[in-house]
Amino acid sequence: MPRTGVVNYHVHKPESQAFEIDADGIVGNLVSPELVSTRVTIQDAREDGKPISFARDGIAFETHPSAVQDFASGNWQLTYDVELSELLREKLGVKEVIVFDHTVREDDPNSDRKPARNVHSDYSTEGAEKRLVDILGADRAAEWSKGHYAFINIWRPVGTTINSAPLGFVRPMSVKPEDWILIDLIYPDRRGHIMGLAANTEHEWVYQSKMTPDEVAFFNIYDNRDLPSVAHSAIDMVEDPAVTTIRRSIESRTLVRY
């Protein structure tokens, strides 16, 4: 049965647009560009339907339990980084993985890092190439650029099964090049940018219902051999109105070399 939810698309404008993150030096204070709330139909990957393939869609869902139960304290990062590296080596055949960032999000008004509710992908080509140098240094980045590398994000529920605000994805084959919009990111100490997505009725949305902490989604952000970037966003929908647990998750960013 088709499911529906609400997402926030970006809007084409003649002038440049930006998010201001931690605006005025206040952690969690976000100033957003204009977004348009849009109801979309979503395919559940657990149901029979159009298959999902990382090679074609840049998205995969896997059962991959973690030994880490608490992402709020303790020395969990090394253990988790090893687990994520093993996952990508096994599933994608990459030969090298660098895990360079983790963001724990909580769907609570008082949280400093709430789920991202704008349809986007994390890097433009220019942004990915700059991030490569930031992580590796100029010489090593030049070496990697001669081969096949990619940025891949890995998303996992934390604590409880996801009942609301699940992470959804747009199948890249349903996205037109003109749907993308370059959006600046303004931090107190630096600038970057992401690719926002404008609404298009042809977009095909997919998610996996009621994901548990033993499950992950991993998805392509940038690939220098042209595997498409995957637009994604939290979706405003509720699986079971009787359940009141809030959505907690961790998203990890990786750089891989094939």
Kindly tell me the number of DSSP H helices and DSSP E strands found in the chain.
Answer: 4, 15
Sort residue 30 into left (φ over 0), alpha (ψ -120 to 50) or beta.
Answer: beta
pLDDT in tens, 151-167: 999 999 999 999 999 99
- Render pLDDT for 88-135 as a digit per residue (tens, 0 to 9): 999 999 999 999 999 999 999 989 899 999 999 999 999 999 999 999
For residues 182 and 105, what is the distance between their CA atoms, to the nearest angstrom?
A: 24
Check if the beta carbon of residue 224 is closer than 8 Å to that of residue 148.
yes
Please report the pLDDT score of residue 41 as a whole number.
Answer: 97
- Token pair, residue 235, equals 């979706």
| Helix locations, 58-212, DSSP H | 77-92, 125-136, 138-145
Q: What's the confidence (pLDDT) of residue 38?
A: 98
**Block residue for tokens 């440049």:** 16
172 contacts 58 by C-beta, under 8 angstroms: yes
Which alpha helices (H) appear in the chain, and where do they start and end? 54-57, 77-92, 125-136, 138-145
DSSP 232: E
Q: Where are the domains of the chain?
A: 3-257
Tokens of 157: 């529920």
What span, in angstroms and rounded, lies between the C-alpha atoms of 15 and 180? Answer: 15
Bridge partner residues of 186 (DSSP): 20, 191
Collapsed DSSP state (helix, strand, coil) of residue 213: coil
**Residue at 95: amino acid letter:** K
Give the whole-angstrom CA distance, residue 227 versus residue 56: 8
What tens-digit pLDDT sequence spans the chain (258 residues)?
779 999 999 999 999 998 887 877 778 787 889 999 999 999 999 997 789 999 999 999 999 999 998 998 889 999 999 999 999 999 999 999 999 999 999 999 989 899 999 999 999 999 999 999 999 999 999 999 999 999 999 999 999 999 999 999 999 999 999 999 999 888 888 788 899 999 999 999 999 999 999 999 999 999 999 899 999 999 999 999 999 999 999 999 999 999
Are the C-beta atoms of 45 and 24 separated by less than 8 Å?
no
Q: Report CA-CA distances (Å) from 165 to 127, 237, 248, 252.
A: 27, 6, 9, 18
Write down how long the chain is.
258
Query: What whole-number distance in Å separates Cα of residue 22 and Cα of residue 29?
Result: 5
Global confidence as pTM: 0.94
Give dist(CA 119, CA 5) in Å, integer: 13
Say what the pLDDT of residue 19 is.
83
Burial of residue 5, with CB atoms counted within 10 A of its CB: 0-12 exposed, 13-18 middle, 19 or more buried = buried
Q: Which of 243, 219, 236 is nearest to 45 (CA)?
A: 219
| Distance of alpha carbon 29 from alpha carbon 21, whole angstroms | 6
Sequence-separated (6 or more) residues with CB below 8 Å from residue 83: 64, 66, 67, 68
